[in-house]
Structure 1
């Protein structure tokens, strides 16, 4: 087979392999070369008419397009969405779970279950970043050898925390990130480290969220300790004190209902919405059937597909909360002289994607088919189970940082162009959309979903494979990104607002 038709209503099909001019696609003959993953018009499309893929509008023809012509950035344009939204009109129950599944996790005193056992150094400001790195660097594999149940010591450093307003979106988002990492179930202990004079005061965070210092939760400022060197010495001692306690943690049987999985994609291509994303969506449905939680994010990457999600919202209020976030992003991009269509990257376009509408329709498939139970601000604690959504940018490190802060203990990451992403404390499982890239980047990809195209594997079979592997990873099996040490530099809180 040379092409894929995704819906009978579509005006385009997708080339599975590169097609030369003269190739027969359905009853149409190509009139030029069509790259692999790119779209072929199967009917005449007049200028300004919508182009349909997934039975949805992905853009508008900028000129007349002939049958057999390549449809891409040269003849397809983006327009802002303008839809009449429906709410709670497409509520499908999760598939019935045959039996309750379990994983081997770390039961915390809070009652939550973790999938990893790290010690964390959480910085309040960039000014304490070097101190945090130096403290973490002390804990080499040799130093940690007597503590086999501790997965590592991680410094979460970032480039903000001062030069910002002490209220508003930016400040509140950063405080939520810090709180989320400080209380994350994949952390056995936390050291919070600041400079002392920054706008993002640690004491304010402790007061706002009711955090109390104890044997496995400590805080300090460089200015109070009297300088960098002394801070590093004191910090090393504090973390050393936590190691023996953290090492006492043991894995025990936990219900899958306690898992929270971040649903992510990066380096997408035309196959993302055909193979890996629908397969991950099926895995999400299986998780929801167990009472677990899937968290979709990247608001710019559901733009043009949000009407499909509002139909799945459990009630009107949930759906309207999602649309409020969409309107915020339209205003945000406008006042910064951008466009919602700035999101598709050059790599996305080389892989066959043309507009953000097309990209979003494929990206939304990661969320499966079950009802949308909640919509959350960036890094806000996720409190509902089932399929949920978190507002975030489409920049993978910033988006995943918010999802982990919200409570995600695992990350599932689909990619078509290839990615070397990894995360801590929640490990990232990477899923390739096509087999060629999966072979080329075999050391980075955990799952090859390309065999849905090449070998006839069903989306459901691949989704089950992803689900089963998630339970293995939750129980301690290392992902390929973990094996390569990724995750120390992917902590990127979303910086919103003016730097002053």
Structure 2
């Protein structure tokens, strides 16, 4: 029989409802009977003791809030009777040791990837087009239409066929479709547009330069075509300096065009089409070859989280992260607003004291910028989070941090900094799904594991996004966006370790090009740079 409630950590004083519970229902738990006092939806939290105003509420063994009013044992926690609260952290408090998981069965496993001259290995082979400034977005869109129409196999959507049948007056089944074979089999062509590069403050353009340079240096990218207007804040020289800072000896082809130096739009676009086609044709010659799992660099992300995310999907990512780190691979935990309340554990896990200090400084600066903008980390849970049981930022954070597993923190990176150390890295990003995913890929990850409890279609232009649902209901309701689901953990049918091994096998298949993620099949290519201090 499935348990009705679960306590995540032995020191917790609240439990999570695994199913919907009715007021008056008696639940047997840890040798006693608990009477449920209010109708409680699954994923929400039940008080395991009587709380008086100001009492500390503990979940995942950390402070996640305090009681606003008296909460009786067996009653449900809500945004009305609980407020956000987290412990203050001033530095490392204890030494840290780690026992790595047994990875003997994985040591000789490989994936088929694209080997770059700098030693990185990509799991995609992408030629990337992007502008340095929003003024060039239209030209990027023109190039997108030209290259996708001529180079890529464009399958017409059911909605396009429906509209065609309506326009023609023919039935849907009578409308003919046209199919064509890709010109190149071994390379993809992707396009980025954005609203930045000029206006705003100069720091925004410098930050964007670092992000775009990271995309060029990402191992999934074979080369790039870059468009500049000429007069914008983000000058070509600034972009080149950012690229040099990341990789002083970059061997990839990067074609750069400045419209104000080239005359008409037609003349510039004609030159770009000719030059880019030749470069793409050459990049198509790169083939997949075996690579060790240590070459995987995986971003850890969550979005549309629910009350089960921190129990099933996120801990599974944590176990995968630990396996990867034990194999000398790289895992990156981001979303700093969603690490509020677990700072002490992460600081204690930092190998170098300087990284612990950097982490706390970044967290403090981030929170100050949010407060100065009239908000705060306590405003982070979205309406969807709250509806599904995540009622304080610290509660959301405690579950979100589980994605980072238990390994030592090898490095702490600010937004736009590139990954150079294997092992677990922390990257300063907002909690916003797309902004954070965009940043992870800009820091060099070649794949992102993305957990969700409510469902989100987020994808990325150059890196596969593997969507992991925390519950089976979501996977069945939205099978077009979910790649793998962890509902079996909630039902007690599989352990976290079993799910992690299944997920690692799935990752290897994606990395080798044997499985396409749902986001890629949907052609979901999201890219949003972070304007610091404006977004949580």
TM tier, smaller: over 0.9
Q: Which whole-Å deviations, capped at 9, do the CAs of 1:70-110 have from their partners, x for residues lacking one?
A: 11101000135423542562331422421232110001122
2:127–2:221 contact (8 Å) kept in structure 1:
yes
CA drift at 1:142: 4.7
1:300–1:393 contact (8 Å) kept in structure 2:
yes
The 5 A counterparts of 1:381-392 are 381-392=418-429
Aligned: 1:172 with 2:209:
no
What's 1:184 paired with? 218
State the distance in 2 between where 1:495 and 1:351 align: 29
CA drift at 1:341: 1.0
Aligned: 1:243 with 2:243:
no
The 5 A counterparts of 1:73-472 are 73-79=79-85, 81-86=87-92, 89-98=95-104, 99-140=107-148, 142-144=150-152, 145-150=182-187, 152-166=188-202, 168=203, 170-210=204-244, 216-472=253-509
Query: Which of these two proteins has the greater Rg computed from alpha carbons?
Result: 2
Give the number of aligned pairs.
Answer: 493
State the distance in 2 between where 1:68 and 1:239 align: 65
2:370–2:533 contact (8 Å) kept in structure 1:
no
What's 1:485 paired with? 523
CA drift at 1:203: 2.3
Q: Which whole-Å deviations, capped at 9, do the CAs of 1:105-126 have from their partners, x for residues lacking one?
A: 0011222111001110121111
Cα 1:209–1:437 change in 2 (3 A) is closer
Which stretch shows the higher mean deviation, 10-19 or 428-437?
10-19
State the distance in 2 between where 1:388 and 1:203 align: 30
- TM-score for both structures, normalised by structure 2: 0.89
What's 2:168 paired with? none
Unaligned runs of 5+ in 1: none
- Report the secondary structure of 2:85's partner residue: coil
1:269–1:415 contact (8 Å) kept in structure 2:
yes
- Report the secondary structure of 1:139's partner residue: helix
Unaligned runs of 5+ in 2: 153-181
CA drift at 1:386: 0.3
Cα 1:369–1:484 change in 2 (3 A) is same
CA drift at 1:215: 8.3
Q: Which whole-Å deviations, capped at 9, do the CAs of 1:335-392 have from their partners, x for residues lacking one?
A: 1111111110000011110101000000000011110000001121111100111000
Across the aligned residues of Structure 1 and Structure 2, the Cα RMSD in angstroms comes to 1.8
State the distance in 2 between where 1:234 and 1:482 align: 30
1:270–1:352 contact (8 Å) kept in structure 2:
yes
1:126–1:157 contact (8 Å) kept in structure 2:
yes
CA drift at 1:164: 3.3
Q: Which of residues 482, 495, 499 is equivalent to 2:531?
A: 495
